[in-house]
Structure 1
């Protein structure tokens, strides 16, 4: 065998033989079991440990979900009590300190007793009042010292620590580690939940809501989960304190090689769940597997050598014959530069396909442009169909397998959630996605043509003529296309379908029908499916808006009667759009033009100066609102704003409203979601009217007022604290430091960091001069 190997390593012509490559490949395969034997044991150990970790993670996740649900119930339970209206009155100690047995206390005790009955997970809860040192539970009213010494006593804590470190400090939904407590003659391991009152007050804490949860209830929950019996579980709160442990142990080391430690953290409350399982439990089967691995390696080495040689020689013979054929078929000098037989075969085959591929590439580069141009002219009716032959279509890679055609126009209505920068590259990507999805959904041949930036046309090659499109599968295709674009790509599209016609010459007619149907998007609205068969029979030639109805609408609006105004507007909309046959787009424009003109007449008669009603040219109204539903909603908002102004002009509460708005802004400026719409909803006003009122009353926009307030607070925090820019941004209502830096630089001309540095330098200079 050695002599054969030596003969096959290098041929007489100097090229390396493929035989040695095959032989070495089989030898490598032979050596794989040896390599497996050397790493088999640690791999199996790692797999078992990983399986144990995955099992522990699943177990911990199940435990986390169970306990998180309980914690969520406790927080909800605490919220119901904390926001109880009678509790806020009881927290006012100046009012109730004089009489500790008032009827209000008794009433409140009865009400919270009902809460206690509904929540069996909490063993006991009570409310501590700081000023009066009163503890109020569902069953009694006492003072803190009596409660600590006679009702529920912490065995390892004294009264002073209980009062000053547990009851009085500010705490927000805090769970304290399990402590041993005495109640009468019984002893419990209790987890203490504390929440300061009133809720959200950090500086002026008037009391605390305290709940006691028996640790055994949590242990019972954990014991019911499969796999908990193999090790121990430790639960730590967000401060790193051990709340409880299933095995009583709280000390462990991540570096202990005898333990498998798994963690999971709750996103709800920040608790850490730790599972500790001894490795000896997991690795009991590894030694047996190691013995079998050694036997496998031995047998592989014993019989592998001969099998490798036999298989390499058998597979090399057809390759050797192929090499001889290549050498005989090429020129005498072309095969001498190749180092081995595989390279000789590869280069020979590659050379045969290069020239053919070059020719195909030249044609394929220009084919999409040719095809798109032809289809665009075809659907517009600019191609004489009688002159188009099957060879022409084959050349342009077009194939009309059926004689019937339909056209669907798809308009992109709203893609703001998909497109971020509004670039041509993004629009091209969106059109590409829309075209490909359309062709994939159709179970018949189709071609997509890009007509405009926001419009593509789908030419459908149908197999039959259908009198009713609703019965054809094109209906299901259009609906599915709209759903996919909305669900996957956050894009709203409108589809317009033609009827089905026979013959290539009628493709232009299909396109004209689809264009006609798309015009009715004004009535049906965007994200709808429009059928030529449905809209071509619209024959209504008038709308209902008599002069008596206009006069009645103006009278209601002059009196600020928004209820009757909205009822009358709803009646006009129902009569014209819901109770009669469909209107044409031209009549829709005429109706809303006349109703918008009515509002302008009212505005001029009462000197109402809102831009929405009097400052806009009615002719431009249709540029911004393209559907009847949008126009109707816009009119209702403008009439409501007009009525609100009329009512407000008849009162003298402007100063009071302005004061309420400024107080609200001063109290909520730190909220990042604070906006004009949010404030308008709070005061139940139209946002446009609220902005106009604030500007007219104060001389500045409401957004400028909020911006100046936040900038002023930012300056104070920069100079008076050492907080980071990110922390300051969060405290003054910005979601990130980037937003604060951009706004601060725009107003002050420098960044917050430069402002703080400059002030520090000025102070240093002043100190030196002194």
Structure 2
């Protein structure tokens, strides 16, 4: 009997039982109250509001988006209208009969009441002409007088020719007719909608939608609190007259609605325009709280009383053992466990010694975090046990040759192992040193020493280099050593110096030691303006030999001057950027080469000069093949022009002469040739003549004057100027370089 009483008493004194019983009382009371109140009213009302307004806003969004899709399709169909195409191909010549027919076509479209169009324009870059349903005027007259807007001046519409966007809905604006100065006739508010065609860059169309008519037709809710935002959350349109409503909260894509103050904000994003539609509904549930019946109020009062009593009892019962626990900690003796009526508290006393040992072990980790915070200038409450004596910072930058998702775990293990190795080696020679991993591929060591001990540090780093080189096929290390510092306040300065030194490594896959005494000065090398021009011309012309020669020659100069790996990567990135830009201008499909982000990753994967040079040659060869293939595509006009130039380059050739043979205008030939080849007619001719001149200059016994005449230049000054423009050197310098190259 006594034993049973002791067990029962021990169970009753259990902290778990006491806490569980106290929490259970509070939980049961709160669950009961929530069940009989929130379930009764709030959930039903809120769910009905959410479901109704979600479907309502979706219907409104669908109506707006279908309208934008319809406008887009109508304008794209209009691009292929015979009259519109004839107006476009006439260029600067205006055929007023065709223009009248085009205006009639525009009027027929704007008269369709289902399109809600206030106006529709065709804007031709040449000859700066705008056609709408009522007029045919210059762009300056139209946008400054007939359809003027402060938000969309003439400069805005002119800039759209360079805009690559094919379809976009802009913010609505007030438009005015200004027949005389300071005489404004309002045309109402309208949504400008821009539609362009990739094949017709010299003109585009713009529709102006009547936003009020669209709102009355598409907004089906009885509530007029409606907003339209752009993709960045900027307000484009609102129909709300409620002054209490401010700007809608930020759109959260993971939620259907957002609650702010006493309103629900329902969001829906359009698939066609990218606009965000917002419907705002007052919180009807708040008003319903006033109508709670007497039974719920009575239940609330009773529940409140019981909750207060249970809380007082629970607080009193829990407070007493906690006070004893605090007193026991103040009188802590690890050999004498603290005694209490609560079983768990007795076990806690026996664990205090283990906790103390664990805290001692983790103190070193906290010190590492304190050093890291100081280096990164991160404000923290950690105290740093800094030794006030000279120190240096050594950064170990790890570069992995194999970069893939499968390598992530392996790289993490290697980084950890190398961090432990560095810490071990440093503490053997400098016991007060601190080593920690500051980033996934960067390890930092503080070595406290006198300046006279610096040679010993270099010896240690050379020994570690031999160890690192055992894994050189997988990873190599850059060891950057700062100058000597003595103050904790200089940690960031020392770290920045070491980080700057680490960026001076040369382009190879060897482990390198870089310090302030041996670091090479940074050498900055860029292609000259003439070299850039020569590269661009040869790339556009598809001249593989000349293009690769320019790049390889510059890479060799960089390697000879021992520039940093970052300079090599920057040069390669610039070459790729210029090449992709040229391919884009030629409308060549280079998707198989990869985007610039992917190509930049491939550049960084080149760890030696030979790898980078080989990669650029391979890339440029593929790109030049695309250029050649693009130029070889069947096109009778450019094919005839190129063949004629190839056969008659030595004669007196002009753009007008070739255009006459094709029975087309010289202006049309110039635009067409540039569009198809990516290079001007004159530049193509001069580049062809200079290439032929180079071939003739390499022939033994050739005279520069004879070469100039045979290449089509009757004036030596013109020949010298063009030769240097397209080659970067004069004819005589070119011949000297060629001779030197063959001799070497």
Question: Does the pair score TM above 0.5?
Answer: no
TM-score by length of 1: 0.34
TM-score by length of 2: 0.35
